[in-house]
Structure 1
Amino acid sequence: MASKKLLVVFGATGAQGGSVVKAVLGDAKMKESWAVRGITRDTSKPSAKALEALGAETMAANLNDAASVKSAIKGAYAVFGVTNYWEDRSSDLEFKQGKTMADAAKECGVQHFVWSSLLNITELSKGALPKVSHFDSKAAVEKYIRSIGIPATFFLPGFYMSNLPGGMFRQVPPNNDWALSLPIPSSSQVPLLDTAGDTGKFVKGILLNREKVLGKRILGATDYYTLDELVEQFKKVFPEAGKTAKAVELPHQTFKDILGSAGMPEENQEEMLQNMRLLHEFGYYGGADLKESHEILVDKLTTWEEFMKTAKAFQGLK
């Protein structure tokens, strides 16, 4: 390992981190020059053992324990940092965890810190959407990383494709017709990402193009799709099930009520509503083009059509 560059991946058993580990170790050429250390809280679980089978070293660390984070990063050339806001639903905790990783990266002399970031929506919307906390707290970490002067690139994952099948895009009673139901017009544009499949493709491109991407944001999405386009492609892939499929614009309160019936606290209901409104009113990426972010890629990204064919919620459809 000493002759290779060490990449430390936090959240290694999650969708983003796991994708990074698999992409780097699944590339024969990169595997010759890179070693991967996957960080998780429990190295005994099957998902951690699966990473070891790919050739990764695994190490236990807790983002709330600065000493364990520093030990995890020691010796790293590059670090992929990611946090899970939804675990504790705390902006303060997410910022603290991100700061802990950044401080450790600086102290350990990391040459490339890749932070899984998002835009500050309060700023983007000029205060119109002030409650999209899981965006704003990641943006706050990005701002901190920039302030301490470590060499960094910022990966901004798009809207998870996995959120749609069986979730926002599901069968609706009484007729069990398929409907993509969101509180925004069907012309709204959504930058989709196959998170588990494609996060690693972007991070691989970032690592291979270090000088080109230092200080930059890489927008992690395959393409922009309108809700109408998502439904039309569903009809194309599943012509029988898709006969009556449609995009439905939900009243804002109805959307919140659905989240509430699923057990989501009221504060987070409003957060999710504003998150959806962002797509239509200001743009997930503020209207930015994806072209430049795609220039660093060496792997083909997963399309919505391809993703649908493997989605569990759509299995068995004709």
Structure 2
Amino acid sequence: MSKLITIFGATGNQGGSVINSILTDPQLSNEFKIRGVTRDATKKSAQDLANRGVELVTVKIPSHLPKVADLNSIDSLTAAIKGSDTVFLVTNYWEILDPNVEYAQGKNVADICKALGVSHLIFSSLSDVQKGSKGLLTHLPHFDSKVRVEGYIRDSGIGCSFILAGYYMSNFKKELKRAEDGSYQVSFPVGKHAKFPLFDAAQDTGLFVKAILKHAGELKNKQILAATTYYTPEEIVEIISRVSGKKTAFIQISNEQYMAPLPPGVGQELVETHLCLEDPGYYLGEPLEPSLNLLDSKPTPFERFVENNFSTWE
């Protein structure tokens, strides 16, 4: 009899990738039935999942917390998780910009998984950069809240694993700017030796979660680092130039220059997100090879991502 896996964020980049990877894997598609948690089961992306055999659970948006799905509602979470052997949880700090809400969401899911006897909770987490930087980088709430959730899950005693998503390749759609002469520029508040662990979340989250499911015993209570490889800024712009045929340059700018066009309240956070690429490192200096060696296939290289997406960036 198939086990049930419940996947939060079913129509998002990470959750959608996990669902697609399980459905297209001969072993896991027989091992698991899929329940997808979504806000709106009537939208096309949700209906496409239903047509592929995914059970959809619709969550409502409470009026006291607009734009936040009811990860805060114990009753709705219990209904969504009931009967599950495995749960994949992704939370979205950028939607709420409140680390305490994100922590409460993760805590609620962990508590219910524990109460319902879920065997394996897979959480999309991040590195403890504040600790790794010895307190120098202190404005990273989207890291810190996920680290707190991970700690709570570990302390709960539930079987758990953690996928740590790398630096989204899709970020370059916003970072790539056209210069006056028609060429392109990528500007960051870091030097040429910074290491970007690039990751195609929409394509490859499922690839790494598949590894967790297939190596569940080996990866219980452990992390898997989800990135293709480490790229320097100069390697990034060389790839964009070569693949697109558009001359692209990397420009190091000051923290203040990078923050200037950003909305109030997030500038320092995004600056420190990039500063951590230099020291202590996005993954605190950890190599990617132990995680990559567990995969069924290679993750998306940045070259292929640029080939597939550059036309939408212009």
TM-score normalized with structure 2 length: 0.94
CA contact (8 A) 2:4 2:34 kept: yes
The match for 2:76 is 68
> How much has 1:310 moved relative to structure 2?
0.8
Whole-angstrom distance in 2 between the partners of 1:42 and 1:115: 22
CA contact (8 A) 2:244 2:307 kept: no
The match for 2:255 is 252
The match for 2:296 is 298
The match for 1:195 is 201
The match for 1:29 is 27
> How much has 1:33 moved relative to structure 2?
1.7
The match for 2:157 is 149
Aligned counterpart in structure 1 of residue 311 of structure 2, from 306, 310, 314: 314
Whole-angstrom distance in 2 between the partners of 1:273 and 1:168: 13
Whole-angstrom distance in 1 between the partners of 2:176 and 2:225: 24
Q: What RMSD over aligned residues (CA atoms) do the two structures have, in Å?
A: 1.3
Query: How much identity, in percent, do the aligned residues show?
Result: 38
> How much has 1:247 moved relative to structure 2?
0.5
CA contact (8 A) 2:292 2:298 kept: no
Aligned length: 304
Matches within 5 A, 1:1-318: 3-61=1-59, 62-164=70-172, 166-172=173-179, 174-239=180-245, 241-242=246-247, 245-259=248-262, 264-265=263-264, 267-311=265-309, 313-314=310-311
Q: Which runs of 4+ in 1 moved over 3 A?
A: 313-317
CA contact (8 A) 1:309 1:315 kept: no
> How much has 1:17 moved relative to structure 2?
0.5
> How much has 1:27 moved relative to structure 2?
1.5
Whole-angstrom distance in 2 between the partners of 1:199 and 1:111: 21
> How much has 1:45 moved relative to structure 2?
1.5
Whole-angstrom distance in 2 between the partners of 1:316 and 1:133: 29
Residues 1:285 and 1:50: Cα distance change in structure 2 (over 3 Å): same
2:19 partner letter:
V
Q: Which runs of 5+ in 1 are unaligned?
A: none
1:314 partner letter:
S
CA contact (8 A) 1:156 1:219 kept: yes
Whole-angstrom distance in 2 between the partners of 1:29 and 1:280: 40
Whole-angstrom distance in 1 between the partners of 2:136 and 2:312: 40
Whole-angstrom distance in 2 between the partners of 1:154 and 1:33: 21
- The 3-state SS of whatever aligns with 1:246 is strand
Whole-angstrom distance in 1 between the partners of 2:154 and 2:147: 11
Whole-angstrom distance in 2 between the partners of 1:66 and 1:13: 22
The one-character-per-residue Cα deviations of 1:163-197 (angstroms, maximum 9, x if unpaired) are: 01x3112313x223211111111221100100000
CA contact (8 A) 1:16 1:199 kept: yes
1:185 partner letter:
G
> How much has 1:67 moved relative to structure 2?
1.1
CA contact (8 A) 2:8 2:88 kept: yes
Whole-angstrom distance in 2 between the partners of 1:111 and 1:77: 5
1:34 partner letter:
F
CA contact (8 A) 1:85 1:94 kept: yes
- The 3-state SS of whatever aligns with 2:196 is strand
Whole-angstrom distance in 1 between the partners of 2:229 and 2:175: 19
Whole-angstrom distance in 2 between the partners of 1:228 and 1:187: 8
CA contact (8 A) 1:183 1:277 kept: yes
CA contact (8 A) 2:6 2:80 kept: yes
> How much has 1:55 moved relative to structure 2?
1.8
